[in-house]
């Protein structure tokens, strides 16, 4: 199946039953396919008038207790960011698939990794969230399931960061029985309705979330609030909620950051790359290894939270790290900040809408090796 089609099937398998969206290349196939698939499983699809309305409808569905998702590309994501900030502070779970194209502005509809930082910092204020970056059609399926589960578990928007090339290539995918897929559901309140406070969390840091229309009094607010949802809390209460929003993610850095290590066991040189670009790296590594150069790949599957600990350990294991990205160096700075082992760090970038040629990476490896 196609990468975009795999996203849809992953969403269905994870229990997504509502999608609102607006067509934008290169994500449109997600909207087209899910418009057919959702009614087949009892779900609802709606094409909205724009991306602002799309993310708003997704949040409304999520408040009603339904697992909900949208998909877009860079220009559409730019329209969604204010409402995504609303979802962060109000703790409304949802999944946003962002299929990257070349920017800025409308740019071009060719492949890119230029939204790596945008997906992390687009909305105002301090916050933590989760971004996953597939590198194959199989991972488009699997990581969509993970994205839905994480959004429900932590009551946060979770982002799946794909790209135009990955969205449209076709590969064989062995899918499980959807009824056997692990599905995580949000925690509902456990106290009686008369004792319920909308934003009171237990030791997990995640408040129970009732469905609109249930016996619980639902209160969704887009401002800093106390446990009751009241606006204008004291400085201490403001600090408390911001720390809780941070810590419900940061307390799980032992499990959230995922990386793939490829041929790193004896490597003197490492290439750090993600998404579709990492596939070009793997092709380059095979040639380099045949030439006797000991080089391997570290591929972050979770971009945010950034896998700092894994990268820090890598900088102590190898002498040189080549960061390869299809942008001007958006994760380069993160790798440099994690460089506790004083490895030499170089950069290979490309942002012309074409998938990086393995020869460019191979040339950089040869210069080091």
Interval 198-252: pLDDT, tens:
999 999 999 999 999 999 999 898 899 999 998 877 898 888 999 999 999 999 9
- 99: nearest Cα among 121, 70, 60: 70
pLDDT of residue 86: 96
pLDDT of residue 369: 82
Evaluated on CA atoms 44, 45, 48, 52, the torsion sign reads: positive
Query: Angle between the 74-90 and 51-63 helix axes, to the nearest 10 degrees?
Result: 30
Token pair listed for 105: 């502005």
- The full DSSP string for 122-187 is -SSS----EEE---SHHHHHHHHHHHHHHHHHHTSEEEEEEEHHHHH-B----PPPGGGS----PP
pLDDT digits (tens, 9 = 90+) for 141-161: 999 999 999 999 999 999 999
pLDDT of residue 237: 87
Is 288 in contact with 295 (CB distance < 8 Å)?
A: yes
pLDDT digits (tens, 9 = 90+) for 62-103: 999 999 999 999 999 999 999 999 999 999 999 999 999 999
Structural domains of the chain ordered from first start: 3-180 (3.40.50.970), 259-368 (3.40.50.920)
Q: What residues are paired with 123 via a beta bridge?
A: none
pLDDT of residue 232: 74
pLDDT digits (tens, 9 = 90+) for 344-364: 999 999 999 999 999 999 999
108 pLDDT exceeds 80?
Answer: yes
Task: Return the H-helix or E-strand segment holding 217.
Answer: none
pLDDT digits (tens, 9 = 90+) for 244-285: 999 999 999 999 999 999 999 999 999 999 999 999 999 999
177 pLDDT exceeds 80?
Answer: yes
Q: What ranges in the chain are assigned the alpha helix state H? A: 3-14, 28-40, 51-63, 74-90, 118-121, 137-154, 164-168, 235-250, 275-290, 308-317, 332-337, 358-368
Q: H/E/C letters for each residue in 51-70?
A: HHHHHHHHHHHHHCCCCEEE
pLDDT of residue 187: 95
State the Cα–Cα distance between residues 183 and 176, nearest whole angstrom: 13
pLDDT of residue 233: 78
Is 218 in contact with 193 (CB distance < 8 Å)?
A: no
State the Cα–Cα distance between residues 71 and 159, nearest whole angstrom: 10
Mean pLDDT computed over every residue of the chain: 96
pLDDT of residue 319: 97
State the Cα–Cα distance between residues 262 and 271, nearest whole angstrom: 10
pLDDT digits (tens, 9 = 90+) for 296-338: 999 999 999 999 999 999 999 999 999 999 999 999 999 999 9
Provide, rounded to the nearest whole percent, the portion of the chain with pLDDT above 90: 93
Token pair listed for 142: 């699997």
Label residue 139 by pLDDT band (50, 70, 90). very high
């Amino acid at each position: 199946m196609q990468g975009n089609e795999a996203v849809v099937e992953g969403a269905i398998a994870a229990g997504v039953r509502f999608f609102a969206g607006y067509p934008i290349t290169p994500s449109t196939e997600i909207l087209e396919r899910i418009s057919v698939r959702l009614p087949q499983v009892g779900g609802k699809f709606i094409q909205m008038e724009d991306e602002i309305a799309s993310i708003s409808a997704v949040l409304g569905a999520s408040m009603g207790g339904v697992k909900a998702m949208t998909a877009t590309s860079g220009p559409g994501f730019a329209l969604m960011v204010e409402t995504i900030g609303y979802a962060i502070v109000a703790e409304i779970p949802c999944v946003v698939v962002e299929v990257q194209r070349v920017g800025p502005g409308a740019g071009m509809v060719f492949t890119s990794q230029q939204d790596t930082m945008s997906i992390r910092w687009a909305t105002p204020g301090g916050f933590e969230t989760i971004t996953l970056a597939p590198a194959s059609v199989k991972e488009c399926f699997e990581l969509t399931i993970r994205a839905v589960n994480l959004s429900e578990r932590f009551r946060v928007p979770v982002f799946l960061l794909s790209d135009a090339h990955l969205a449209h290539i076709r590969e064989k995918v062995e899918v499980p029985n959807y009824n056997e897929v692990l599905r995580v559901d949000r925690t509902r309140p456990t106290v009686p309705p008369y004792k319920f406070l909308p934003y009171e969390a237990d030791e997990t840091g995640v408040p129970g979330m009732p469905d609109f229309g249930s016996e619980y009094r639902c209160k969704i607010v887009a401002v800093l609030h106390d446990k009751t949802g009241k606006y204008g809390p004291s400085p201490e209460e403001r600090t408390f909620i911001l720390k809780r929003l941070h810590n419900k993610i940061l307390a799980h850095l032992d499990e959230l950051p995922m990386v793939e290590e490829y041929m790193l066991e004896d490597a003197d040189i490492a290439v750090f790359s993600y998404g579709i670009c990492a596939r070009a790296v793997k092709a380059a590594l095979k040639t380099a290894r045949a030439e006797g150069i000991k080089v391997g790949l570290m591929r972050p599957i979770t971009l945010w939270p950034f896998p700092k600990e894994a990268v820090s350990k890598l900088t102590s294991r190898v002498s040189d790290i080549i960061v390869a990205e299809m942008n001007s160096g958006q994760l380069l700075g993160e790798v440099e900040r994690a460089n506790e082992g004083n490895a030499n760090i170089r950069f290979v970038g490309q942002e012309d809408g074409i998938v990086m040629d393995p020869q460019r990476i191979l040339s950089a490896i040869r210069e080091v090796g």
